[in-house]
Amino acid sequence: DGGITQSPKYLFRKEGQNVTLSCEQNLNHDAMYWYRQDPGQGLRLIYYSQIVNDFQKGDIAEGYSVSREKKESFPLTVTSAQKNPTAFYLCASSIDRGHEQYFGPGTRLTVT
């Protein structure tokens, strides 16, 4: 987990509320990623950013939004438009696209 922090570890929200998950890295990596993991499944890409002030949608971007105002930070907002937001969210970074990724410890979001 070294170099990438995610907070909080557990997050509980009521349905209809937006919630922002934090991701910070001190590895000086250009690329950052957000993934969603559901029980017993692999990772699905939500959004990624290859450089500050630029980001692209991944495979399941609907209901999510991101910003990349600083190289170190890539927060993810889960909006009320996301129909099934309860999941384990993982943030990652890499020196450049296609290289090995370094993951944070994850945030488990529960929406009731």
Partner 1 sequence: SQQGEEDPQALSIQEGENATMNCSYKTSINNLQWYRQNSGRGLVHLILIRSNEREKHSGRLRVTLDTSKKSSSLLITASRAADTASYFCATVPGYGNKLVFGAGTILRVKS
Write out the residues near partner 1 by the rule CB under 8 A.
Answer: 1, 4, 6, 33, 35, 40-45, 48, 50, 58-59, 88, 90, 92, 97-106, 108
CB 23 within 8 A of CB 48: no
Least distance to partner 1 from the beta carbon of 44, Å? 8
| Choice between 70 and 99, CB closer to partner 1 | 99
Nearer to partner 1 by C-beta: 30 or 80? Answer: 30
Q: How far is it, in rounded angstroms, from Cα 74 to Cα 89?
A: 13
Q: Shortest CA distance to 17 belongs to which of 86, 76, 81, 107?
A: 81
- Min. distance of Cβ 4 from partner 1 in angstroms? 8
d(C-alpha 72, C-alpha 84), whole Å: 28
Beta-carbon contacts of residue 84 (< 8 Å; ≥ 6 apart): none
Select 17 or 110, whichever has its Cβ closest to partner 1: 110
